[in-house]
Amino acid sequence: MTRPPLFDRRAIDRHRARRRPGAAFLHDIARSEIVERLAEINREFTAPAFVTGWADVWRDSLPGAKVIGDLETLPLDPGAHDLVIHAMALHLSEDPVGQVIQCRRALSPDGAFMAVFPGGRTLEELRDVMTAAEIATAGGLSPRIVPMADIRDSGGLLQRAGLALPVADSLRVDTDYADLPALARDLRFMGEANPLAGRRGRFGEVDLFRVAGRMYSEQYPAADAERIRATFELIFLTGWAPDPSQPKPLKPGGAEARLADVLTTFDMPDDGDR
């Protein structure tokens, strides 16, 4: 039985087309972090590629990189790239595992895969107040905010895709806004308005947002009590296409020295030396 789609792809494309460049602060942070991580690898990549719905934002991050959209089937040739970066789009994929697997297949041996996308703590305050407000005003819930993976589940994507040396980490970004309408407006300008296929229409939303706005101000004030706080989280994934040159974990019993032998090389001080 075919599962109904989670996302309305036409809505995603429509929201992205309405993005305003000045609202791309999360992309700016993500891009800066990716560049820093690449510098730490200290390796020259000669055939990089980006998978992203934001080509205009990421195109200049790596000169000469191939840039493709986050399509269901990625137009990447097998083994053609020594670096593939999935940029700020994995959270809107119907099949994130499939996306990572396709990126893995596009890597040459010992090629690097990197991804950055919003994580589960993103807009946690908004999720809380929208849930409470909708129960209060409508007696039920509807899909309002994209479900996002936590770092543990995200790290599992790398192993399921067959990538070696997997690493997952996250960055919390704390922001504040004048009020809930200001936050909602910024999300629209970022191209991140609600694209869920099961979203409700606009009927009854005036009361919903009025109640949610009041709850938000009461429960999540910023340091400046006249404003509200909003949390974003960026998750970063790094893995490598398997290659014989990569370090391998020792098999059980494969150590060259016993721990007890190592410990005996250090003389423990007696009580008079402490």
- Predicted pLDDT of residue 198: 80
pTM (2 d.p.):
0.86
Question: Angle 234-235-237 (CA atoms, 0-180°, nearest 5)?
Answer: 145
How would you write the pLDDT of the chain (274 residues) with one tens digit per residue?
A: 567 889 999 999 999 998 887 788 999 999 999 999 999 998 999 999 999 999 988 988 998 999 999 999 999 999 999 999 999 999 999 999 999 999 999 999 999 999 999 999 999 999 999 999 988 887 766 677 888 989 988 989 999 999 999 999 999 999 999 999 999 999 999 999 988 988 766 555 788 899 999 999 999 999 988 999 999 999 999 999 999 988 776 565 555 555 455 444 444 445 544 4
Check residue 173 and give left, alpha or beta (phi > 0: left; psi -120 to 50: alpha): beta
User: CATH says 9-266 is which class?
Assistant: alpha beta
238 three-class SS:
strand
Question: Angle 240-246-249 (CA atoms, 0-180°, nearest 5)?
Answer: 105
- DSSP states along the chain: -PPPPSB-HHHHHHHHHT--GGG-HHHHHHHHHHHHHHHHHT---SSEEEEES-HHHHGGGSTT-EEE---SS----TT-EEEEEEES-GGG-S-HHHHHHHHHHTEEEEEEEEEEEE-TTTTHHHHHHHHHHHHHHHSS----S-----HHHHHHHHHHTT-EEEEEEEEEEEEEESSHHHHHHHHHHTT-S--BTT---STTHHHHHHHHHHHHHHHSB-SSTTSEEEEEEEEEEEEE---TTS--PPPTT--SS-HHHHHTTSPPP-GGG-
**Whose structure tokens read 């075919």?**
2
Report how far residue 213's alpha carbon sits from residue 254's, in angstroms, rounded to the nearest whole number.
60
- Predicted pLDDT of residue 36: 95
Check residue 139 and give left, alpha or beta (phi > 0: left; psi -120 to 50: alpha): left
| Domain locations along the chain | 9-266
Instruction: Name residue 151's amino acid.
Output: I
Record the tokens describing residue 90, joined without a space: 């994995």
- Predicted pLDDT of residue 268: 44
